[in-house]
């Protein structure tokens, strides 16, 4: 793997932001043409294969729902003026609204209108996936200006047997063991939640594709909740081979990082993330697993208990733009997207290079000087490299991985890994053979 | 079990305080008629069986002492005026004083007089159980006013072979495994130490008697130290079946709760108490086990190491009224007694309802919505109930009890238990079979 | 063992300081006559046996170097005036300088001159053990005053096959298991680093020699780095019998104690040291093991991982006098040396007396009163002794050592050990048999 820093350039951030802007206008939902169109665009960034799962398919305790598509939807006031138009904003429609074509007085219509009184200029995001309904979302200011009288309501949608669509990018590595990256693709016109996660995952896929990989990777682009349920049901046999993983979401806002640990709490991904964040110099916090949040709920259900954490910047519900029309491309920045991609690459670099080594000269220190590994002249960086070598030698007793050594010594993993490589080249250290118990799929 | 809150009413507190006042005038000691009279009164509150153990009975390293009873005791000054009279206060007599009928000068008498110079208006509580002696306790003010001259001293007591008396209330439950509640009954005319503990234990017995019980209960009313030693010696075979327990004392003063953990430190009783106290909103502190204190010293001796903690408000020695005539019924309050009873009931409720469950749909979350277990409308309490359900499902993997889940999630046990019950009724959860290894006695 | 406090007198501190002054003028190095002369002086304090290991001997990854001795060395300026003379200060010579007899201009000479520009009046300590070189160290002020011109340089040294010399004091104890004390003897004319460690180790040896010993002891006086490597290579078979140990260095400066834990981190020596320091009332800090520092680097290499910590006052590099001519006998004090010796003795006392006992009356408390072990009169020290007895009885269940009990109870080890002895004498406690798995060597 080349140094991951190279990837985290300002221009990559800008490219990701351009992708966010490109995907923003598409009306995605948990099924339907929006997801297909989104995946078609992502295919330009990474080798994504698209899967279609028929409505009605049983997936654990759930059933793949009908497919929903919508052409147009509007409300006309008593004077015939269009007061709400789906074409103007995808959020105007209650997701999964059944078709409607009717006239009704405002009093009746009101029961189908959703607003945010405390944020009167924003359109809320509303869904009704598992209970048939119809409705419109609008700004509270719009609602308050509606005159009494009879309104015309049109929703030209279809809710019919079809498919649930998801994308998967598989990148085989030297080992069959896998790293799983998952991101949800079901939200319409919401930039941070979750075009940011989609963009970071797509760029990750593209970069990883161009690299030597120790692990095999799967990057999955799935609708929220029903997506991972479906994916897990269809890939259950592969789950024992998943060694590490991340759910990516809300990575474009200006806040610091929030890492939510896996249900295990001390998985390698949890420790690698904590280590990298501790040395990164940017604000962050690490929170414990809980069964609310994003798709880690499914991956970390007790029957799977996969070692996946969730990487976010500001968590859902903690920023006022959350699930409103204010979560638009202006809310996310190229710098935040680029920083998130860089963090992911650094963490994956730790996982890729982490290994257990054995000091071949375990009794007393080996004589580094005669091998040119002991500083003869001073200098801070030489002393630092030497310190890393001494730590690697001292703790390479078969019980400690390089990540363990980095954590214990307080030395960044990269310097520890570099020291280990140098010691291996000088015949002082030997990597323990890794036994790959997963099956090449 | 009905909701325990019902019990913790102001009127119950008043009833307990009335019991304290009724028991206060009785001259109890570690043996003798005072204990018998006390137990006769307690029989009105709960089905207590009285046991008599003969003096001289060997109990581990100890021997049941002679029985002590006293009719009268006084001191007359040189003018024939009675200056100390046992009839006026039980504390005036050194407990276990041998009979005396003598005349002596003040200088000689002084060696048998106990006062509290730093609290000159309070009579101290003094005992000499295991070394034959006699003496009187009085206020320091009284002592300082005694004129020189010859005094008449009379103690009409008997220290003869008899019995040690204790009470036990046994309440069988669905399981043979037991919860042991122990309180000491040896102190004369001291309200907080320990009529408060006696009253709470007696009312607990009465309330538990009227309930469905998962566990079997024993509530023992024993003299301090020699009491639990005797009880343990006579019930040694039953001790392996004791799953949880509490020593109750000093529960009537106005202070916050102090819970002293069992010697194990992480017994269920310790965790249940910590959890309930953390959610109770009243001041409290939790302290580690130490081999000084009350009868937990015996229950937690290394040969038994029973999972009993000690519940107090202000610990012995930390309130100035401790072991003085100021520890009278005015020092304890109905509210404090009622609060202590309520706490005990809430903790017992946790132990009764605690169990390990298995999520029957462990792969991904089950679809709560189709079972009406997912909020369709908002609201804080609905969200809270849903959160409890998600935690119970996520952690019911065979490794976690409901108490574990409550502690991990920060959700009160009651809400967790309610969620578990609901999930069981919907076929999503199943309680693990409990294996009861104790013998029905 | 007699009470260790007796040893820690002001006069012992003065005697140690006299030893420091006596050893200060000797020009020690990692080999050569200086070490031999030093060990001959130490033989007056303790029964030290001297070992000679030939140059060229392979010791793990190292080779015993040639022996270095020096007679004279000086620099004469263009006017023939001697500007640097080894006879004036041992530090003037780069250790292991090869012989030189030459004339050269100042510009060429400069490359062989070492100074401390930031401490212009101090001579630095410089070595070149493993790369052949020559040089002089001097004050920066001296250097700045040197006139241009041709200089005469003479180093009359020998670097030839010879021996590495070390001393070892072996004191057999009741058990074959050993306590290892190691200190480095390679530094010329540096008082804190490490005549202080040498003096404390020599006095320890003398005191331990006069005592009943539970453990066997080895006190080794070795050159830094190559010394412990050589000692470990020659004594590898004995290492499994080493139960505890200390590296002693920098113990004479006025700073508080610094204890660097063993690589294991929770060895008995680590816990004993932490316990004694916590009760000692002097400033101290405890730091984690790291593979930089003194000879603990070798003893704690992963192939040995011996339970040795390193006791210092101010660690190397943290005092400005470090490795300069300012680290002279005025920098170390009799009080610091005496305090260090006292601390070592108190810690060894804990290790010697530590044991696991069994309470022979584990069910309930035994009746201490009938054995005169329960205070009948008050008093703080009586209460304290009683508390220690109760803790020892309560925790002597086969799982806890006396040190464990001291740590858990917060009672100083000495009081705990005294209580245990008393309880043993009264037949209440029995020490568990120690199985000594090491071989008497």
Distance (Å) from the alpha carbon of B349 to chain C's nearest alpha carbon: 29
Nearest-Cα residue of chain B relative to residue A236: B363
Which residues in chain B have Cβ-Cβ distances shorter than 8 Å to A229? 364-365
| Partner residue opposite B364 with nearest CB, options A130, A290, A301 | A301
Nearest-CA neighbor of B228 among B250, B248, B203?
B248
Q: Rounded distance, CA C80 to CA B221, Å?
A: 102
- For the segment A186-214, the average pLDDT, to the nearest whole number, is 97
- Phi and psi angles of residue A137, each rounded to the nearest 5 degrees, phi first: -110, 145
Q: What percent of chain B has pLDDT over 90?
A: 91
Tokens of C34: 């200086």
**pLDDT tens-digit profile of C147-176?**
999 999 999 999 999 999 999 999 999 999
**B258 has pLDDT over 50:** yes
Task: Work out the angle at residue B286's Cα, subtended by the Cα atoms of residues B285 and B291, and round it to the nearest 5 degrees.
Answer: 130
Cβ atoms of A393 and A416 within 8 Å: the answer is: no
**A5 has pLDDT over 80:** no
Handedness of CA A112, A113, A117, A119 (dihedral sign): positive
Contact A362 C60 (CB under 8 A): no
- For the segment B268-288, the average pLDDT, to the nearest whole number, is 97
Q: Which residues, 6 or more positions from C56, have their beta carbon under 8 angstroms from its beta carbon?
A: C63, C64, C161
**pLDDT tens-digit profile of C315-365?**
998 999 999 999 999 999 999 999 999 999 999 999 999 999 999 999 999
Distance (Å) from the alpha carbon of B375 to chain C's nearest alpha carbon: 50
**pLDDT tens-digit profile of A215-231?**
999 999 999 999 999 99
Q: Rounded distance, CA B388 to CA B156, Å?
A: 65
What one-character-per-residue DSSP string does C284-342 give?
EEEE---S-SSTHHHHTSTTT--SEEEEESSPTTSSTTTTBTT-STTTS-HHHHHHHHH
Chain A neighbours (≥3 Cβ pairs under 8 A) are: B, C
- Bridge partner residues of B133 (DSSP): B97
- For the segment B130-150, the average pLDDT, to the nearest whole number, is 95
Q: Rounded distance, CA B50 to CA C246, Å?
A: 62
- Phi and psi angles of residue B294, each rounded to the nearest 5 degrees, phi first: -110, -150
Contact A362 C303 (CB under 8 A): yes
Which residues in chain C have Cβ-Cβ distances shorter than 8 Å to B226? none
Tokens of C318: 């943290």
Best of B358, B363, B367 to disrupt the A interface by mutation (most A CBs within 10 Å)?
Answer: B363
Nearest-Cα residue of chain C relative to residue B61: C366
Which residues in chain C have Cβ-Cβ distances shorter than 8 Å to A376? 131
**C272 has pLDDT over 60:** yes
**pLDDT tens-digit profile of A105-133?**
999 999 999 999 999 999 999 999 988 99
User: What pLDDT is attached to residue B71?
Assistant: 97
Q: Tell me, yes or no, if A226 comes closer than 8 A to chain C by beta carbon.
A: no
CB atoms within 10 A of CB A368: 18
Contact C291 A369 (CB under 8 A): no
Q: Which residues, 6 or more positions from C271, have their beta carbon under 8 angstroms from its beta carbon?
A: C403, C407
- Helical packing angle, C380-395 and C413-425, nearest 10°: 70
Distance (Å) from the alpha carbon of A222 to chain B's nearest alpha carbon: 15
CA distances to C21, C41, C198, C200, C434 from C340, in Å: 18, 21, 12, 7, 30
Distance (Å) from the alpha carbon of C274 to chain A's nearest alpha carbon: 21
As a whole number, the mean pLDDT across chain B is 94
**B357 has pLDDT over 50:** yes
Q: Tell me, yes or no, if B4 comes closer than 8 A to chain A by beta carbon.
A: no
Q: Rounded distance, CA B23 to CA A157, Å?
A: 80
Best of A237, A261, A301 to disrupt the B interface by mutation (most B CBs within 10 Å)?
Answer: A301
Tokens of B226: 């020699």
Nearest-CA neighbor of A279 among A42, A5, A2, A1?
A5
- Bridge partner residues of B114 (DSSP): B137
- Laid out side by side, the sheet with A67-76 consists of A82-85, A67-76, A150-160, A100-105
User: What pLDDT is attached to residue B6?
Assistant: 41
Q: What is the DSSP pairing of strand A356-359 with strand A429-431?
A: antiparallel
Burial label for C145, CB within 10 Å (0-12, 13-18, 19+), is exposed
Contact C300 A364 (CB under 8 A): no
Which residues in chain B have Cβ-Cβ distances shorter than 8 Å to A131? 369, 376
Q: Tell me, yes or no, if B55 comes closer than 8 A to chain C by beta carbon.
A: no
CA distances to A183, A217, A231, A275, B387 from A194, in Å: 8, 21, 19, 26, 23
Place B440 in a pLDDT band, splitting at 50, 70 and 90. Answer: very low
Which residues in chain B have Cβ-Cβ distances shorter than 8 Å to C373? none
Nearest-Cα residue of chain A relative to residue B384: A292
- For the segment B147-155, the average pLDDT, to the nearest whole number, is 97
User: What pLDDT is attached to residue B3?
Assistant: 39
CB atoms within 10 A of CB B2: 12
Q: Rounded distance, CA A64 to CA A166, Å?
A: 12
Contact A362 C232 (CB under 8 A): no
Place B379 in a pLDDT band, splitting at 50, 70 and 90. Answer: low
**B4 has pLDDT over 60:** no
User: What pLDDT is attached to residue B332?
Assistant: 98
Place A9 in a pLDDT band, splitting at 50, 70 and 90. Answer: low
- For the segment B95-119, the average pLDDT, to the nearest whole number, is 97
Q: Rounded distance, CA A249 to CA C441, Å?
A: 65
- Phi and psi angles of residue C217, each rounded to the nearest 5 degrees, phi first: -125, 145
**pLDDT tens-digit profile of A23-60?**
999 999 999 999 999 999 999 999 999 999 999 999 99
- For the segment A151-155, the average pLDDT, to the nearest whole number, is 98
Q: Rounded distance, CA A316 to CA A314, Å?
A: 7
What one-character-per-residue DSSP string does B310-329 give?
EEESSPTTSSTTTTBTT-ST
User: What pLDDT is attached to residue B437?
Assistant: 56
Q: What percent of chain B has pLDDT over 70?
A: 95
Which residues in chain A have Cβ-Cβ distances shorter than 8 Å to C60? 361, 363-364, 366
Nearest-Cα residue of chain B relative to residue A239: B363
- Report DSSP state, residue A99: P
User: What pLDDT is attached to residue B436?
Assistant: 62
User: What pLDDT is attached to residue C209?
Assistant: 97
Which position has the token pair 């409308």? B377
Place C1 in a pLDDT band, splitting at 50, 70 and 90. Answer: very low
Which residues in chain C have Cβ-Cβ distances shorter than 8 Å to A392? none
Q: Rounded distance, CA B61 to CA B58, Å?
A: 7
**A440 has pLDDT over 50:** no
Which residues in chain A have Cβ-Cβ distances shorter than 8 Å to B397? 302, 305
Contact A229 B376 (CB under 8 A): no
**pLDDT tens-digit profile of B163-180?**
999 999 999 999 999 999
If DSSP codes are grouped into helix, strand and coil, which group holds residue B226? Answer: helix
Tokens of A348: 């994956």
User: What pLDDT is attached to residue C216?
Assistant: 98
Handedness of CA B313, B316, B322, B328 (dihedral sign): positive
Nearest-CA neighbor of A122 among A137, A106, A111?
A137
User: What pLDDT is attached to residue B382?
Assistant: 74
Q: Rounded distance, CA C6 to CA C16, Å?
A: 15
Contact B393 A303 (CB under 8 A): no
User: What pLDDT is attached to residue B381?
Assistant: 74
Q: Which residues, 6 or more positions from B409, have their beta carbon under 8 angstroms from its beta carbon?
A: A290, B387, B388, B391, B395, B416
- Report DSSP state, residue C133: B
- For the segment A67-86, the average pLDDT, to the nearest whole number, is 97
| Partner residue opposite B390 with nearest CB, options A59, A131, A291 | A291
**pLDDT tens-digit profile of C364-417?**
999 999 998 987 555 567 778 999 999 999 999 999 999 999 999 999 999 999
If DSSP codes are grouped into helix, strand and coil, which group holds residue B223? Answer: coil
Contact A394 C301 (CB under 8 A): yes
């Amino acid at each position: 793997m080349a140094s991951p820093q190279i990837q985290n350039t300002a221009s990559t951030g800008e490219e990701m932001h351009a992708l966010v802007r490109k995907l923003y206008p598409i009306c995605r939902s948990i099924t339907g043409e929006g997801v297909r169109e989104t995946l078609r665009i992502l295919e330009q960034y990474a080798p994504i294969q698209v899967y279609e799962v028929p409505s009605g398919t049983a997936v654990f305790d759930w059933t793949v729902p009908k497919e929903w598509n919508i052409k147009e939807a509007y409300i006309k006031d008593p004077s015939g003026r269009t007061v709400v138009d789906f074409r103007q904003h995808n959020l105007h429609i209650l997701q999964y609204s059944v078709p409607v074509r009717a006239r009704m007085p405002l009093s009746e219509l009101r029961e189908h209108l959703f607003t945010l009184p405390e944020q009167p200029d924003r359109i809320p995001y509303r869904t009704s996936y598992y209970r048939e309904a119809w409705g419109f979302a609008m700004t509270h200011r719009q609602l308050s200006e509606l005159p009494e009288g009879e309104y015309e309501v049109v929703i030209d949608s279809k809710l019919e047997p079809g498919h649930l669509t998801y994308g998967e990018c598989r990148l085989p590595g030297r080992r069959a063991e896998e790293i799983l990256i998952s991101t949800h693709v079901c939200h319409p016109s919401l930039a941070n939640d979750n075009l940011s996660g989609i963009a970071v995952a797509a760029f990750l896929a593209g970069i990883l594709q161009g690299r030597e990989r120790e692990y095999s990777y799967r990057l999955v682009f799935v609708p929220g909740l029903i997506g991972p349920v479906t994916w897990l049901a269809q890939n259950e046999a592969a789950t024992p081979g998943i060694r590490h993983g991340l759910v990516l979401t809300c990575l474009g806002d200006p806040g610091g990082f929030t890492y939510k640990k896996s249900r295990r709490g001390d998985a390698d991904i949890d420790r690698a993330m904590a280590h990298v964040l501790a040395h990164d110099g940017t604000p962050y916090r690490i929170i414990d697993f809980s069964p609310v949040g994003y798709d880690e709920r499914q991956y970390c259900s007790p029957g799977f208990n996969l070692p996946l954490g969730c990487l976010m910047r500001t968590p859902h519900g903690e920023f006022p733009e959350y699930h409103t029309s204010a979560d638009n491309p202006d809310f996310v920045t190229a710098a935040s997207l680029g920083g998130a991609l860089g963090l992911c690459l650094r963490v994956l670099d730790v996982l890729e290079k982490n290994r257990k080594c054995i000091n071949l000269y375990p009794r007393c220190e080996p004589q580094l000087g005669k091998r040119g590994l002991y500083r003869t002249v001073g200098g801070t960086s030489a002393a630092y490299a030497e310190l890393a070598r001494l730590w690697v030698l001292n703790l390479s007793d078969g019980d400690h991985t390089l990540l363990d050594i980095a954590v214990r010594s307080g030395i960044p993993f990269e310097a520890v890994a570099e020291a280990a490589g140098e010691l291996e080249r000088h015949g002082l250290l030997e990597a323990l053979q890794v036994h790959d118990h997963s099956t090449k799929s």
